[in-house]
Amino acid sequence: MSVLEARAVTKRFGGLTAVKDVDLVVNEGEILGLIGPNGAGKTTFFNCLTGMETPTAGDVTYKGAPLPKRPDLITKAGVARTFQNIRLFNNMTALENVIVGRHTRTKAGVFAAVGRGPRYHREERESEQTARDLLTFVGLGRVGDELAKSLPYGDQRRLEIARALATDPGLLLLDEPTAGMNPNETAAAIDLVKGVQARGIAVVLIEHDMRFVFGLCDRVAVLVQGQKLLEGSPSEVQSDDRVIAAYLGKPTEAETAGDKQ
């Protein structure tokens, strides 16, 4: 079954079309890679899925229902994301950062919060325990009381994933999760994403590390100049002449043959 379906998603900025008629289906529990050269429209497409940008045209549904337009409501519906440029609360601890994400699922109203009633305290305790469990899951159980800004870069990436998982998503969008990581951190990131998948959460990731993508993803989609060039298994995409041409800026064999005629 599909978790998310994007149909003919288009985003224009004035006279510039950043994303054009992109279709994408994400199935339950799969890992799907979204690749393409710089400027291909990958992050803009992510922004259209998560309410950071409003599509100029097209439709997006999550588990058969149209996605809301606001980012907070999209998160509440079950779609969470991380960002290419890490967005943490730097002066809050790692634990507090994850608890913030958990508040999407708390139900205590204003009066319960103001009055600090039993429901409020129960939800706070549950949120803290869930946050600690998630920090352990991503390998950060030892640094819960440290400020986010004091963590190494790779750990900040993990913390952002933990905060996203705190929202109980059915779909997690990762925008360049290994950017700036060393080989050991990248290997650990592979294990982490597989662990997310094992929890039954579908993952879509934007990534420039092709070894990471082709070694991890169930399917791969390629964007070029805002349009989907092709989609298939890692082996199909990896060997496609058009993908090689898009990345290297070289003509395909077919185009070369046509020039000679």
Cα–Cα distance measured from residue 261 to residue 259, given in angstroms and rounded to the nearest whole number: 6
Task: Give the domain extent around 211.
Answer: 2-78+169-260
Last residue of a domain, one of 105, 133, 166: 166
CA angle 38, 43, 48 (to 5 degrees): 145
User: Is residue 184 domain-shared with residue 256, that is, in the same domain?
Assistant: yes
Q: What is the CATH number of the domain that holds 199?
A: 3.40.50.300
Q: How many structural domains comprise the chain?
A: 2
pLDDT at residue number 249: 64
Please check whether residues 45 and 155 belong to one and the same domain: no
In a domain, 87, yes or no: no
Q: Which 8-state DSSP code applies to residue 78?
A: T
The whole-angstrom separation of Cα 225 and Cα 122 is 50
Same domain assignment for residues 33 and 66: yes
What's the pLDDT score for residue 223? 95
Residues 195 and 248 both lie in one domain: yes
Residues 7 and 121 in one domain: no
Query: Residue 5 corresponds to which tokens in the numbers above?
Result: 């379906």
**For residues 65 and 63, what is the distance between their CA atoms, to the nearest angstrom?**
6
The CA distances from residue 89 to 98, 147, 156, 258, in Å, are: 10, 9, 11, 55
State whether 142 and 189 are in the same domain: no
Same structural domain, 69 and 179: yes
Q: Which of 166, 188, 205 is the last residue of a domain?
A: 166
pTM above 0.85, yes or no: yes
Looking at residue 120, what is its pLDDT? 67
Residue at 84 is within a domain = no
| Together in a domain, 58 and 187 | yes
Q: Is residue 86 part of a domain?
A: no
**What's residue 175's pLDDT?**
93
Q: Are residues 71 and 184 in the same domain?
A: yes
Q: Per-residue DSSP letters for 134-203? A: HHHHTT-GGGTTSBGGGS-HHHHHHHHHHHHHTT--SEEEEESTTTT--HHHHHHHHHHHHHHHHTT-EE
Give yes or no: residues 175 and 246 share one domain: yes
Q: Are strands 31-35 and 202-206 parallel, antiparallel or unpaired?
A: parallel
3-state secondary structure of 222: strand
Sequential pLDDT tens for the chain (261 residues):
899 999 999 999 999 999 999 999 999 999 999 999 988 999 999 999 999 999 999 999 999 999 998 999 999 999 999 988 888 999 999 999 999 998 887 765 434 444 565 666 777 889 999 999 999 999 999 999 999 999 999 999 999 999 999 999 999 999 999 988 888 999 999 999 999 999 999 999 999 898 999 999 999 999 999 999 999 999 999 889 888 888 766 554 444 445 444
Q: Is residue 85 situated within a structural domain?
A: no
Q: Last residue of some domain: 166, 182, 207?
A: 166
pLDDT value, residue 119:
67
Q: Is residue 120 part of a domain?
A: yes
Place of tokens 């913390």: 159
Q: Are residues 254 and 187 in the same domain?
A: yes
Query: Contact, 159 vs 138, CB < 8 A?
Result: yes
**Given this model, what pLDDT does residue 66 score?**
95
**28's tokens:** 């339950």
The reported pLDDT for the residue numbered 115 is 52
